[in-house]
Structures are given as C-alpha cells and as structure tokens.
Amino acid sequence: MSLTTGIMVGGIYALVALGWVLIYKCSGVLNLAMGELTLIGAYVTYTFHQMGVPFFFAVLLTLLVGIVLGVLTERIFLDKLIGEPVLTVIMVTVGLSFFFKGAAQFIWGADTRVFTPPVFSIKPLEVGFLLISPVYLWSFILAIVLLLVFVAFFKYTRWGLSMQATADDETAALSLGVSARFVYAAAWAIAFMSAGVGGALLGNINGINISVAYLGLLVLPAVVLGGLNSVPGAIVGGILIGLLQNFAGTYLDQFFPGGVKEIAPFVFMVIFLLFKPYGLWGWERIERV
C-alpha cells in the first residue's frame, strides 16, 4: 500500500515540481511562492466545484485562472526586475508568498474546506491484489495526463521551444527574436497552472486549508533531487519523494513519532546535496577564472 500510495502522491508532487523547474530554467530564480500558488489553485477549484461545476471542468477553469494570475503576477511584480540581481527577484517571491497567503485567508478564511459532495468514491478499488483509494488513483492519472501535455508543449510547440531556447541561452534566443518578457510571463502562467491543479488534487486528499501551502514546499526536495532545471528530473524526483515520504511514515513513525513523514524528504535532500549538488539531471556550472 505504501508503494502504490507513494507513487500516486509522487505524481502530484511532480506536477507541482514542474512549476519550480520551469521558472528556474527560464530566469534562474527559485520561486519561493510555489506553495502559495498551490494553495490558491486548490481554493479556486473548490470554489468552482461548490458553484456546481463538475470537478473535471473546475480543473479546466482553474487552468484558465492560472494563466491570468500568472501573467498578471509577472507583469505587475516581476517585469521591471528583468536583468536585476537574482537575489532581488527571489526576495520578491518571498514577499509574494506572504501576499498570496494573506489574500487566500482574507477571501476563503482559515477553516478547513472539503469538497462536498465528494469528488471521488471512498470505496477502495481492487487492482489485482492491491486495494487503491479512488482519490489517489484518479489524482495520479490526471497529474500524469497534465504532465504529458506540458512536456508535449515544450517539445513540439513554437512557444515551448522558445521557452527552452531562452532557458538554454538567453542571449542567443534574444538575438533570434525571442521575447524574454513573453517567456517569463508564460513561465509564471504555466507555474500557476501546474501548481494550482496539484493543489486541487492534494485538497481532495487532505482537505483545503492554509497547510496546503506547506505541502507545496514539500515538493522542494523533489526539485533538488531531479535537478533544478530538468523537467524529466521533476517527474522522477516527485515520484521518488512521494515514495520516500510514505515509506518513512509507514516504517519510521513507530520509532520516531511526531511527523517524521514530513521531515524525511528534507533530511534526504540535505544528505543528497552533499554528494550531488546539482541533482540527478541538473546542469553543472563550471566557472573559469
């Protein structure tokens, strides 16, 4: 059960990790507001669902809202910072995290919200000799479908190729007519989309309250494991961290009670960085002086 649950939760983590990776690839900035993007997406999907919109269409509407919020965030708060030191932009994302969290509490309050009526059946599904909760199974399937859509976007569309070109060599991409402003706005839009849907799926599992933002931060070890600028690494890292978290909860909680499930990914991240500071597929930076 820990194996299957870990893989399925890891698929959702991979979806959120994609937002981390994409912004870092395009701008070199570690977006510390990703947890709050996850929180807002969960609340937006919940709001549409409570208005009577079926969950699948509520997710589609959340994607559209994510595009709008992502573009507005980049244009209002970050557009003027293109070319500024990376630390400056990172500190702005810290301010955005507090702003988004406060806005979410102001709009939706601090009480835990649950999807009513429930989106998924509570009766376990029998798959061979395994019993799988439908909420985990369908959340995993939806997360994987969206991941495949995003990967296809980066590989086969002109906009996606422009974003990759900017990430690989910004100067060369600009010389070919690629708009950096468009690339950064698109990166934030897709980050809002992927994190928002991930938040909606996590909210179905655990309910929605301010702690969803901290679940978004649990994805950071997955990003570090796969490599901060690797999309395949985000997918693999998310699944591996989901497995690690669930195995720690199953086998270590009995010896170390008190939240080892939440601590284990960060402990693993620190140890892993000692041996692979760029992650499994991250780009190694070599500076010559």
CATH code: domain of residue 54: 1.10.3470
pLDDT value at residue 69? 93
pLDDT at 287 over 70: no
Residue 121: which of 111, 131, 130, 129 has the closest Cα?
131
- Find the mean pLDDT for residues 118-133: 75
Determine, yes or no, domain membership for 269. yes
Determine, yes or no, domain membership for 34. yes
pLDDT at 144 over 90: no
Determine, yes or no, domain membership for 53. yes
Instruction: Identify which has the larger pLDDT, 256 or 72.
Output: 72
126 backbone dihedrals φ, ψ, rounded to 5°: -95, 115
pLDDT at 129 over 80: no
Determine, yes or no, domain membership for 152. yes
Q: What is the pTM of this model?
A: 0.87
- Find the mean pLDDT for residues 120-139: 76
pLDDT at 14 over 80: yes
Range with lowest mean pLDDT among 46-50, 67-71, 158-162: 158-162
- Find the mean pLDDT for residues 131-141: 80
Determine, yes or no, domain membership for 151. yes
Determine, yes or no, domain membership for 251. yes
pLDDT at 2 over 70: no
- Share of residues in the chain with pLDDT > 90 (%): 18
Confidence grade of residue 263 (pLDDT, cut at 50, 70, 90)? confident
pLDDT value at residue 213? 86
Evaluate whether 100 touches 39 at the Cβ level (below 8 Å). Answer: yes
Q: Mind listing the pLDDT tens digit for each residue in 191-241?
A: 898 888 888 888 888 889 888 888 777 888 888 888 887 878 888 888 888
Give CA–CA dist 210/243, Å, rounded: 24
Determine, yes or no, domain membership for 166. yes
Residue 17: which of 180, 229, 186 has the closest Cα?
229
Number of domain units in the chain:
1
pLDDT at 286 over 70: no
pLDDT at 72 over 70: yes
- Find the mean pLDDT for residues 1-17: 81
What's at 217, amino acid-wise? Answer: L
Instruction: Identify which has the larger pLDDT, 154 or 170.
Output: 154
pLDDT value at residue 147? 81
What's at 256, amino acid-wise? Answer: F
Determine, yes or no, domain membership for 141. yes
Name the residue range of residue 155's domain.
Answer: 2-275
pLDDT value at residue 146? 82
